[in-house]
Every structure is written in C-alpha cells, then in structure tokens.
Structure 1
C-alpha cells in the first residue's frame, strides 16, 4: 500500500495521493503532515542525544493550505536541556511556511507509584460499530482509515481509528508519531451541523500527552462546540486499549454557508 509520504532527501518529502484532503480534494489533509513533523522531531532528538526524553506537549499552527506536492522541513532546538527540551519544526511548500510545530520533550522517569487521574477510559472497541467516513467526507485520506464509532448525539462521539498506509515506507515510526498523525480526524468524526451547512476547519492542534500510546487502535472521545461569533473547539480525550494517554484540542474557524 502507498505510504502517505515518499522521502526524497533528509528534509524533503513528496506527499502521495493518500493524503488527499476532505475540505478540498486538491489539497492535503493536514493530519499526515502533523504525524510527519512528530516523527522527524523524534528522529532528530534520537540523533542528537543518548539520554532520551519523551514528547509531552505538541502544538501545531496551520498557516495555510497545502497542495499534494513536495514539502521541505527544518528543525531547530529552541531550548536545549538535560531534562526538558523545546524544539520547533517548520514545514514549507515552495518556500512558504505552512505548518509549524513546537514540541516539548520531557524527562522520562518512573512515577508508577503515584500514577492516576480523573480521565475515564472510553468504551472498548467492540462496543462501537463500523463507520465509513468516506460516505460523509470526500478525499483519499479519510478512506485510508478504519473507523469504529458510537455517536451519542451530533457533536458528541467516541471513535476508534486505525490507518492502513504507513507514514513512510521503510522507516520505523513511533507509536506516538503514528497517533499524532491521526488525531486531526477528530474534527470530522461527528457533525454538529450537516456537512455543507457550515465550514469549520481547525487553525491549530495542540495535544498534551502523559504517556506513550500503544501501536494499536487509537480512541477519540470527542466533543465539538461552536460559539456564536465564528469560532469553535473540538476537544478529545485520547485513548488506547489501556485507557487515556492524553488530550487534544483544535481551534476552529466557523463560517455558516
């Protein structure tokens, strides 16, 4: 199966047809590029240091649309450190910045004795029904994902998702980067209003992670809210088979049609 990207050089990648977007099929869905930047900052981190840190927070700003074409990526260490590190990665098309990631790496220590919290786990995969996302949204990317979904009401849904294509051929991608390359789908898993009655893309995505997810199905316990002045929010509790591993938020620009 065709990967989402082909590597052309150290920092250059060609998007394949599999990244085709949902709002406009001539453009990329941003989700695979979100995963690609996570993969590359992790690879850069491993290459620079022996004492490894783990991704704790990632914040992506989406500066513009991306054609299905070649993109170039640059990485800069903004704040180096022994126990924490801030890294910035910029994805460009034709020299124009289109996606910026600021990622905090944090020290990995054993806190098993005090681990816990108030986030409830999602109902298991087998309680959800298969859902064909491609019947609601156009584009190849949504058709490359298996979805099991349980919608409580419009704007409130739990869904388990699993991709078919790899992010890149012949490269090992961490379970964290793989998960981050999926969670932008949250904004399309439930329709607060019918598709076609409003335009509500996200201008950013921020995820806070408190453990490394496993490599299986990723669960999104998602709530979508529109305000009365043209903005909205998609909020998701991120799960794997063991329970929650983080949260994500997407700020939406909402325009009624």
Structure 2
C-alpha cells in the first residue's frame, strides 16, 4: 500500500504499514519513529472512549522487544495503574501474535503552575527561516524520504539541531492528534546526529523515552541532539525537544553500537 499515510487501518486496533514507514537500517522493517507515533495514537483512541478529565501524557517509554517487520500489527492498550490525578497506561504491539514493542505512558492531572513555570532552554531559530536538506544520501527507507528536514546549524558527528516535519499522515482516514503526530518524528533524533557513517557502523536504539513539561503544538518538531558512544558497545542519544514556541521536553535513546561486518 502507498496511500500518503504511514499506516492503513484494517480492523479494530489493527494496522498495516505502508512503504512510507520503511526503516533506515532495513527497508523491510518499520522505522520506529512512525510506529512510536502510532502507539501514541492508539493510546489517544483508548482515552477518547471515556470522559476527558484533563490528564495529559507526560512521559512515554518504549522498549523495542523484536524486529518490527513491515507487516500487519495489533496494538492492545490497558490501564495498569488507575488514579484520579495520576494514571499509568500500557500499550503492547504484536506482529504475528508476538510482542515487538511495549510502551508505558504516565498521565498527570492538570494544575495551574503558570506563576512558577520556567527553566526551559531558549527557543530555536524558526523553521520558516531555514533551508531544507535531504537525509536520503545518508539513510535509505521510505520514512526518511517522507521528511522535510531543516538544520538550524551545520551538523557535526554526534551533534545536530534540526527541525522536522512530514508530508505524510499518520493513519489513513483517522485524525491523529498533535501529540501523536509530534511523537511520530522524535525517534529520528538518532539519525540526524550520527557519530559514524551507517555504512560502516550500526547504532540502532533499543528504547525511546520521552518526557514532556508541556503539550507540543504545531507540525514542526525541533531536535537539539547529542550522541555519545562509550568504549564497550553502548551509546546514548539525548535530545531537547522543541516546538515553534520553545522547548517542550526531552528524549533519550540507548544504542547498541557495533561495526558492520565489512568494517571489522
């Protein structure tokens, strides 16, 4: 399928990825970025089935348990810690009945803290003032090809600041909320600030954790990203997340770093 969306719904809580979801490490896999957004969308749909109490998703953590192939997936969502002001929700993605992703989201109740708000980094140069570049010479896959990428400054190995947006919708025929659409771009951070060429080294992430201090708005995601490689095969991608109004939170990814066989 190639419909101008990352996913096609094919049943209750079941989706098929399109070619736009193709991965950067393997085009026969889903890139985790749109899959992370799809999970957030499934959580939104789960929460929409009850009265809105104002609680907001303030942290979501993903553990990638297996290879997310370009195949039909099912997402099961449940509350595992209910509460009036704090709630923990879990979502599990299954492909061929096998769990491939487990996500947990904390929902926190709203309070007026305008009088004490502060501490966020400065806002980035707006994307409308920047020129687009292509990542396709560095990374293959339908997902990377779907992006509008605008660097704030020239990237260096392990360091980049850039804006991202997508010309592709998240789910065909379904209105994805601004949070799910925002989250659908965050996992790209590990690719915009690569420390080494992906033709010589592998450094995929096995998790993604996003913390938010306010709800992001708009179609642009700002990534202020640093990547660290350790000496024993581990790495960390750390990102300050922005929308056009300023910083909204942070993302962390743990990496497994290893040379490709041809580079050994």
Normalised by the shorter chain, which TM-score bucket?
over 0.9
The question of whether the paired residues in 2 share the 8 Å contact of 1:85 and 1:104 is answered with yes
Partner of 1:94: 96
- Among candidates 197, 205, 209, match of residue 194 of structure 1: 197
Partner of 1:51: 53
The question of whether the paired residues in 2 share the 8 Å contact of 1:45 and 1:52 is answered with no
- Among candidates 203, 206, 212, match of residue 206 of structure 2: 203
The question of whether the paired residues in 2 share the 8 Å contact of 1:19 and 1:140 is answered with yes
Give the TM-score taking structure 1 as reference length.
0.96
1:177 to partner: Cα distance: 0.8
The question of whether the paired residues in 1 share the 8 Å contact of 2:75 and 2:91 is answered with yes
Q: How many residues align?
A: 257
Which consecutive residues of structure 2, in runs of 5 or more, have no partner in the other structure? none
Between the aligned partners of 2:154 and 2:232, the Cα distance in structure 1 is 26
Partner of 1:166: 169
The question of whether the paired residues in 1 share the 8 Å contact of 2:170 and 2:181 is answered with yes
1:7 to partner: Cα distance: 0.7
CA shift in 2, pair 1:217/1:50, >3 Å: closer
Which consecutive residues of structure 1, in runs of 5 or more, have no partner in the other structure? none
CA shift in 2, pair 1:139/1:14, >3 Å: same
- Aligned residues: CA RMSD: 1.3
1:118 to partner: Cα distance: 4.1
1:193 to partner: Cα distance: 1.3
- Among candidates 26, 29, 47, match of residue 27 of structure 1: 29
Give the TM-score taking structure 2 as reference length.
0.94
Between the aligned partners of 1:153 and 1:244, the Cα distance in structure 2 is 22
